[in-house]
Amino acid sequence: MKTQRAQIHFNDNGTPVADHFDDIYFSIDNGIEETKHVFLAGNDLPQRWLSHTQPSFVIAETGFGSGLNCLVAMAAFVQFRNENPAHTLKNVYLLSTEKYTLSTTDLQQTLRVFPSLRPYVTQLVQQYPLSLDGCHRLHFTAAHTTLDLWLGDVHTLLPQWHSPATGLIDAWFLDGFAPSKNPEMWTDKLFTQMARLSKNSTTFGTFTAAGVVKRGLKAAGFTIEKRKGFGRKRDMLTGQYTGERRSEAAPPYARFNGHRLTSKSRIGIVGGGLAAATVAHVLARNGFTSTLLCADNALATGASGNPQGGVYPQLHSEASYPSQIQALGFAYARRFYDTLTRPFDHQWCGVLQLGFSPEVVCRQEKLLENAVWPDSLITGVDSEEASNIAGVTLPFGGLFIPLGGWLSPPQLVRALLDEYKGYTTIQLNSRVTHIEENEQQVTCRINDQHHEFDYLIMCTGADATKVDVMQALPLRPVRGQVEAIPTQAPIDKLKTVLCHKGYMTPVTQGRHALGSTYGKNDLACDIREQDTKANLAIHQKALQHGDWINSLHHDGNARASIRLALPDHQPAVGQLLSQKTLQQHYQGLAQGKSLERQPLPPANRLFTLTGLGSRGLVSAPLLAEVLLAQLTHTPMPLPNHLLQAVSPSRFVIRDLIRKSGMPD
């Protein structure tokens, strides 16, 4: 998961040179004009934007480098939007790959020579991602641009891009270093994936006119046109995809099979907590209105109502699928929360995961030895360092997550909904029952009155176990009680979140959160003395070698709520099909037929984001983006294998495969 950093130096002209490839990042003559000539004009932009009939335009780039091509494209699109404010085309998606990332310092030095791009450079630096393989979604709201920066090897990444049957990409920026310097990139694997992802008449532009590129593109179905190169280069290549759209495998996990969301769509969101508020917020940020249907008389009365919640990823010593989702979700969540303008209590004070037992120390040492994760995400500390970070004396060290911290979930829910006033209609005391759908709409009963929506998104918590349309998911409610102990010496000096088998937060409003119990299939929310004792005992046992843990006093203030989880401890997001529909549609799986031979999922109008468990603050923002992408048929911010890991259909599909005796 940890990406490789680029090793560069700056030549006498101040131009960055990649040591690994012995090649420059952009023309020493004029980098901006080179990008305009090769990649914008090479793809006939912005002229093609004028004739585009969809709300989004997707550009894919091989070789992010310094980000110059993306920044120039952003600036050009801002000019296009300013000159054509009523045009159907509203936003651009830039999908860029990079194997060797620049450090933030090198990035700033590289781009400071382009003062006209300074506003975009500033935003890029502010959002520049961790050195972590996978997709990092960056938002440039004022530029109407979403940048998905995919870190890793292009030949690994492109096959993981989820594509509609009609193609995903409108234009290609074929950059990267010259074929003579970087032959590993310019291969048939690249050109084959370009063909898979391209729409009919998708264009490309590239600085190179090398024979291997011409032959590879032509064989993949692209027409080739040679044009005058930029500066000292004599020739460059452009062209478009004219090959036949391949009948791409459409396994059950395909996500672009339904109806595309429009600005006129009536959207209902069922729920009143973190999942519902995050989905409503993401829809509003993209210009979609919705109605939030909350069964309670106030928002965030369930698991999202705890006054403090820790924000940190749960990482393993290997880059398992759950760890990848956690790491990428956490990185996105931090950027997401930092962009909110509405206030909510929070503190990015870091999180200490303490090595409180020999077994835990062994796991932590293995994580550090494997070096899967960058130090900027998680690093080891000894007891002295841990004590200095925490502000209280700790008997052992552990792992420190410097970007983590805590926030107030109920305040966050309100901030998310307040950010875009007028886009979300909130209806309290609105219990949704008897949900039915057909090809045109979803009909449901709200307080004994019938209502219709074009799309209904289920974001309920524990109540989801009582809803018929959620039965394809083996939902598991888990009761949790969290103590709110009064601040006192020495924990009044606590400066970071402490985690062991339980957790403790720094003080806010005179109290610390201390928790939590886990009671499976227990739906009662009464405050229990035995749970209070259990929470205190967990902390006393984990910190038994400390000199202060047994002196803490508690006045009995606590809160219990129900989390909703799934057996594999992963959330569920996307199209919500009934168990009966899935079993009938994919009965071939039970007969031993492969996923690749299955039909597209049937189109429907029910969707969900649920099962967030105790990690919703980490995963909800990125998964809401996944949901938006599925609804709008725009690029997915996760690779295919992780999309499958969070699909609501995965449990029925796995059960059918197991019946066949085939490995799942």
253 domain-assigned:
no
Domain co-membership, 136 together with 237: yes
Question: CA 438, CA 621: separation in Å to the nearest integer?
Answer: 29
- Selection from 144, 217, 172, 162 nearest residue 69 by Cα: 172
- Residue 295 domain-assigned (yes or no): yes
Q: How far apart are CA 664 and CA 656, in angstroms?
A: 9
CA torsion 437-443-444-448 (nearest 10°) is -140
User: In terms of domains, do 50 and 147 share one?
Assistant: yes
pTM of the full structure: 0.96
d(C-alpha 535, C-alpha 513), whole Å = 11
Q: Is the distance from CB of 2 to CB of 100 less than 8 angstroms?
A: no
The verdict on residue 367 lying in a domain is: yes
How many Cβ atoms are within 10 Å of 528's Cβ, its own excluded? Answer: 15
pLDDT computed for residue 624 by the predictor: 98
Domain shared by 624 and 498, yes or no: no
Contact 313, 350 (CB under 8 A): no
- Pairing mode of beta strands 169-174, 23-24: unpaired
Cα(316)–Cα(324) distance, integer angstroms:
9
Contact criterion met (CB below 8 Å) for 26 and 15: yes
d(CA 21, CA 178): 9
Cα–Cα distance measured from residue 118 to residue 111, given in angstroms and rounded to the nearest whole number? 8
Q: What local confidence, expressed as pLDDT, does residue 249 receive?
A: 52
Backbone φ, ψ for residue 147 (5° rounding): -105, 115
Q: What is the CATH number of the domain that holds 481?
A: 3.30.9.10
DSSP 132: B
Same domain, 421 and 509: no
Q: Characterize the bridge pairing of strands 8-10 and 16-18.
A: antiparallel
Residue 314 lies in a domain: no
pLDDT at 45: 97
The residue among 550, 565, 580 that closes a domain is 565
Q: What is the pLDDT of residue 18?
A: 73
**Residue 51 one-letter amino acid:** S
**507 and 629 fall within a common domain:** no
Same domain, 381 and 282: no
Domain edge (last residue) among 541, 565, 589 = 565
Q: Do 187 and 150 lie in a common domain?
A: yes
Tell me: do 59 and 167 sit in the same domain: yes
Q: What is the pLDDT of residue 664?
A: 62
**Structural contact between residues 565 and 518, judged by C-beta atoms closer than 8 angstroms:** no
Give the pair of three-digit tokens for residue 22.
Answer: 């012995």
Q: Which helix (H) or strand (E) holds 151?
A: strand 145-151
pLDDT for the residue 634:
97
pLDDT in tens, 39-50: 999 999 999 999
The answer to whether residues 497 and 503 touch, using CB atoms and an 8 Å cutoff, is yes
| Distance in angstroms (rounded) separating the CA atoms of residues 506 and 487 | 9
- 138 plus 178 within the same structural domain: yes
pLDDT of residue 10: 79
Number of Cα atoms under 13 Å in the Cβ half of residue 116: 11
Instruction: List the structure tokens of 58.
Output: 């997707």
As averages over each run of 10 residues, the pLDDT of the chain (664 residues) reads 81 73 70 94 98 97 94 98 97 96 92 93 96 97 97 96 94 87 90 96 95 96 95 90 74 88 96 98 97 97 94 96 97 97 97 96 97 97 97 95 98 97 96 92 93 96 87 94 95 96 94 92 92 91 79 91 95 95 93 88 95 95 98 97 96 92 67
CATH code where residue 422 lies: 3.50.50.60
| Residue located via tokens 């990690």 | 615
607 lies in the same domain as 511: no
Residue 639 forms beta bridges with which residues?
none
pLDDT for 252? 87
Decide which of 548, 565, 582 is a domain's last residue: 565
Tell me, yes or no, whether 514 lies in a domain: yes
Is 333 within a domain? no
Confidence at residue 179, expressed as pLDDT on a 0 to 100 scale: 85
How many of the other CB atoms lie within 10 Å of CB of 548? 14
Q: Which domain holds residue 557?
A: 351-402+476-565
Q: How many other β-carbons are positioned within 10 Å of the β-carbon of residue 199?
A: 18
CATH of the domain at 78: 3.40.50.150
CB 277 within 8 A of CB 413: yes
Query: Domain check: are 517 and 549 in the same one?
Result: yes
For 555-590, write each residue's pLDDT tens digit: 999 999 999 999 999 999 999 999 999 999 999 999
Bridge pairing between strands 606-610 and 455-458: parallel
Number of Cβ within 10 Å of residue 557's Cβ equals 12
Return d(Cα 439, Cα 436) in angstroms, integer. 11
CB distance 605 to 437 below 8 Å: yes
Q: Please check whether residues 359 and 423 belong to one and the same domain.
A: no
Contact 447, 433 (CB under 8 A): no
- Does residue 317 belong to any structural domain of this protein? no
Residue 204, pLDDT score? 98
Nearest residue to 320 via CA among 273, 281, 373, 270 = 373
Are 230 and 39 in contact by the 8 Å Cβ rule? The answer is no
Instruction: Note whether residue 334 is domain-resident.
Output: no
Burial (0-12, 13-18, 19+ Cβ within 10 Å), 592: exposed
Using CA atoms, how far apart are residues 281 and 609, in angstroms rounded to an integer?
14
Domains in the chain, number? 3
Bond preceding residue 252 cis, omega within 30 of 0: no
